[in-house]
Amino acid sequence: MQVEQRPYRSVYAYPWDLVDDGVGTFGARIEAAGAGAVSLAAAYHAGKFLRPHGKSGKVYFPEDGTVYFRHDPKHYQRVQPLPNSMLDEHDPFAILADGLPELDRYAWVVCFHNTPLGRLHPDLVARNCFGDPYWYSLNPAHPEAREYVVALCRDLASNYDLAGLRLETPGWLPFDHGYHHEFALIRLDGWIKLLLGLDLSEATVSAAAVDGIDVLHVRARVAAAIESFLAGETALTDAQAADWIASDLLADPDLAEFLRWRCKVVADVVREIRDVVPARTEVRVIPSVQRPSAKGWIEGSDLRLLAEACDGLEVCAYERSATDVLADIHQVRRQAGPDARISAILRPSYPDLAGGADTVAAARILARHGVDGLAYYNDGHMRESYVHLARTGFQAFDEVAEDMRAEGAR
């Protein structure tokens, strides 16, 4: 399904920055950046964030796993959203609607990444081959975890007038998470991180078995490989780790089939969300936290399946240079297909895009590859001077897009 919207030129933002700034100051900065929309966090996780232009403070710790909209409990069953304390006084999406009605509003939804809900509902979390829980990762294969995420999106889109949803973490989170004091005295390469990160919980084993996947074999083989690694002295380079992953996928058809099945599960969740959200509300999925985007399969993201399951992709082009953005969007387009609708997010600041200097070049590259919308991440994290780079990036993007439309009309 394709939903017609005006051109998507957005800035990602946090509710606490909106409330701290006040709608006037916040809106003036978004306008100066040349954006016509705000992609505002509606469900988010914990963090420790430096706020260069924060008024009430410069370092902020968000409440973990909470929602920033006033939810309706009737949409949910056992798993209920955790409301953020700011909702006692502020409704961020209502503030945007009332104070900045000229801006389109997009709700940025973190889906299966929720540590507090994982702690409250331990049966819903991903678990490795040894049964160790990954509290931060709800399991997309568990019916009740899926039910919660689908209900969250339906509730949000039903109660607020939104141009669209942006779905982050629609699948399994990788082993690396940045958890509090995450630590190891063994060098962990890409191969062992993949194996350690695989969800092989009973819920996943049961769900996969219904589709004919022999996950018990996979679990036994993964456990043996991890045990051997932890007991030995093996240390792989990044290139060797990539070769070991490729070799395992060829040597173990059950592992390859299991990974493909995970991609189907994630795409099915996204399709369920698209089906329950009003047709007027565009749904796009942020397919991965991995860089480059080609590694998104580690989380269960198949770019083609995801693009077909909703209204398109919103790719994080978080790269060091415009050259790297070119390589990434080329691969995304190749995998998603020529007809997939793709928007992109840039970070016009350290550590990306040569500290912001490559913003215009990256915007032009994205437009040339048929990207139909552009956003910047994140208003609260960057110095206020980002607005100049953002505006020039939007202008360059629009110029290339217009040239391409003119060429196509000839």
pLDDT tens-digit map of 289-301 = 788 999 999 999 9
User: What number is the average pLDDT over the span 347-366?
Assistant: 96
Which pLDDT does position 251 carry in this prediction? 93
Residue 105, exposed/middle/buried by CB under 10 A (0-12, 13-18, 19+)?
Answer: buried
Q: DSSP code of 288?
A: -
How many C-beta atoms lie closer than 10 Å to residue 94's C-beta? Answer: 14
**pLDDT exceeds 60 at position 4:** no
**pLDDT exceeds 60 at position 152:** yes
What tokens were used for 343? 């928007």
Tens of pLDDT, residues 22-41: 999 999 999 999 999 999 99
**pLDDT exceeds 90 at position 144:** yes
Give the DSSP letter string of 325-359: HHHHHHHHHHHH-TT--EEEEE--STTSGGGGTTH
Q: For domain 8-183+262-409, which architecture applies?
A: Alpha-Beta Barrel (3.20)
Quickly state the pLDDT bin for 406 (edges 50, 70, 90).
Answer: confident
Task: Confirm if 12 and 375 have CB atoms less than 8 A apart.
Answer: yes
Strands 125-127, 342-346: pairing is unpaired
Percent of all residues in the chain with a pLDDT value above 90, rounded to a whole number: 90
Of 178-187, 234-243, 246-255, 264-273, the poorest mean pLDDT is in 178-187
Task: Confirm if 188 and 291 have CB atoms less than 8 A apart.
Answer: no
Whole-number average pLDDT of the chain: 94
Q: Which residue has the higher pLDDT, 6 or 99?
A: 99
Task: Confirm if 281 and 165 have CB atoms less than 8 A apart.
Answer: yes
Which pLDDT does position 198 carry in this prediction? 97
Return left, alpha or beta for 297; rule: phi > 0 is left, psi -120 to 50 is alpha, else beta: alpha
Residue 59, exposed/middle/buried by CB under 10 A (0-12, 13-18, 19+)?
Answer: exposed
Query: Which H helix or E strand runs over 244?
Result: helix 238-251
Which pLDDT does position 2 carry in this prediction? 45
User: Which among 19, 64, 69, 71 has a CA at the least distance from the CA of 41?
Assistant: 69
Which pLDDT does position 409 carry in this prediction? 64
**pLDDT exceeds 80 at position 410:** no
Residue 376, φ and ψ in degrees, nearest 5? -120, 145
Which pLDDT does position 235 carry in this prediction? 85
User: What number is the average pLDDT over the span 60-77?
Assistant: 96
Task: Write the CB contacts of 41 (distance below 8 Å, at least 6 apart in sequence).
Answer: 12, 13, 14, 15, 68, 108, 110
Quickly state the pLDDT bin for 1 (edges 50, 70, 90).
Answer: very low
Query: Which H helix or E strand runs over 389?
Result: helix 386-409
Quickly state the pLDDT bin for 5 (edges 50, 70, 90).
Answer: low
Which pLDDT does position 407 carry in this prediction? 76
Question: For the chain, what are the domain ranges?
Answer: 8-183+262-409
Tens of pLDDT, residues 217-226: 999 999 999 9
**pLDDT exceeds 80 at position 347:** yes
The CA R_g of the chain, rounded to the nearest whole Å, is 21
